[in-house]
Amino acid sequence: MANESGDLKLLANFRKLIDLVSADNNYKPSNAALKPPALEAQHAAGLAAAHEVPATFGTNMAAISDRETGFAEVPATMSRLHGLARASGARSETITDLNTFKRKLTPRRKPKARTAAADATAAPTETEKQHSSSQMSYDNQIGHIRGYLGVLGTVGDYKPNEADLKLPALQSWVDDLQAKNDAVSSTFVPLSQARAERDNLLYTNENSIVNTALLVKEYVKGAQGTRSPLYQQIKGLAFKRK
């Protein structure tokens, strides 16, 4: 709903509004929510909520980067693994099953540019594009790797000397990918909650900062008039909903 720079601008204007009305001896609203102590408390709560958003955003972005780094190794690891699996002496039927999972973990190459005379019906349909994309989602990649390892576990002759490609190491590897993927989801929850709290306090609640600031302006306009020095000082402070 809002952006962080806009939030801080709004809070800065609210801070100016509070300072200006607090210094005016004729500012005497009957509404307790418009009195300086209430305005100060509202500003403090809004500022804390606004600062919480970038803090949780940083944690979520770190989890996303960690996941991207981990999954970037999937193609190379699966290529090495598949080579050893094929060289293990497994039956052709088993290799066929492994090939099925391996293909699902291989991003499709972009088709070469076609000439005007090329058969347009050979282009991938939107459904095919969406299927290809969904197959390469992080959740599906994990599922395909686990499926591959499940088949590989039936190959008695798969006994590599490479420590990172032994089955226990591979299980730990895919478990780590799962943990990295889960971390993105779990760190997004507090970010989403922080944004919702920020939006409520600053913009959407009935007693949001925007609404309170606008009421302060209305009070000053009614009590002192539009030509009063205080109203002239605060009328230009912007308080807009995003």
- In order along its 242 residues, the chain shows pLDDT tens digits of 445 679 999 999 999 999 999 999 999 999 999 999 999 999 999 999 999 999 999 999 999 999 999 999 999 999 999 999 999 988 999 999 999 999 998 876 554 554 444 433 334 344 434 444 445 799 999 999 999 999 999 999 999 999 999 999 999 999 999 999 999 999 999 999 999 999 999 999 999 999 999 999 999 999 999 999 999 999 999 999 87
CB of 237 closer than 8 Å to CB of 17:
yes
**Nearest-angstrom CA–CA distance, 118 and 120:** 6
Which sign does the torsion angle of CA 141, 85, 76, 165 carry? positive
pTM above 0.95, yes or no: no
Q: Residue 11: its pLDDT value, please? A: 97
Which sign does the torsion angle of CA 85, 87, 89, 95 carry? positive
Q: Residue 148: its pLDDT value, please? A: 97
What's phi and psi for 56, nearest 5 deg? -75, -30
**Nearest-angstrom CA–CA distance, 25 and 100:** 79
**Nearest-angstrom CA–CA distance, 208 and 15:** 14
**Nearest-angstrom CA–CA distance, 70 and 141:** 12
**Nearest-angstrom CA–CA distance, 218 and 128:** 58
Closest CA relative to residue 178, chosen from 204, 144, 153, 229:
144
Q: Residue 237: its pLDDT value, please? A: 97
Q: Residue 119: its pLDDT value, please? A: 39
**Nearest-angstrom CA–CA distance, 34 and 206:** 14
Integer angstrom CA distances of residue 225 from 26, 59, 157, 210, 232? 12, 48, 90, 21, 9
